[in-house]
Amino acid sequence: MNVPAAWYLILAAVLFGVGAFGLLTRRSALIMFMCIELMLNAVNLTFVTFSRTLSDIGGQASVFFIMVVAAAEVTVGLGIVVAIFRRRSSTSVDDLSELKG
């Protein structure tokens, strides 16, 4: 049973929309990181869909590099969030804006 490519693209659009909505409405840094990861996974799904449709390996290679960058982003981001949480006991982005010089 073949699933049409349009279904994957619709799923990717919904995932990206949910991630964008969460990023714009939530104030917690951890939830914002999760929403960014959801948006990156939606883009990865789009790349894989077009790669499969066009029978080209380039989209899958791009997905590999995006996943590497996302893993590095999560590592650095969570390290920063943990350091700030130890100092301020909060991960709210509103509290972080007070840290500007």
pLDDT, tens digit, for every residue of 57-80?
998 999 999 999 989 988 998 888
Domain boundaries, the chain: 5-90
CATH of 5-90 given 1.10.287.3610, 1.10.287.3510, 3.20.80.10, 1.10.10.10:
1.10.287.3510
23 vs 27, residue with greater confidence: 23
What local confidence, expressed as pLDDT, does residue 27 receive?
A: 83
Q: Does the pLDDT of residue 95 top 90, yes or no?
A: no
Q: What is the mean pLDDT of residues 1-26?
A: 94
pTM: 0.82
- Residue 29: pLDDT band by 50, 70, 90 thresholds? confident
Pure H helices in the chain: 5-25, 29-54, 58-88, 93-96
Q: How far is CA 64 from CA 30, 46, 50, 59, 84, in A?
A: 24, 13, 15, 9, 30
**Residue written as tokens 């929403």?**
35
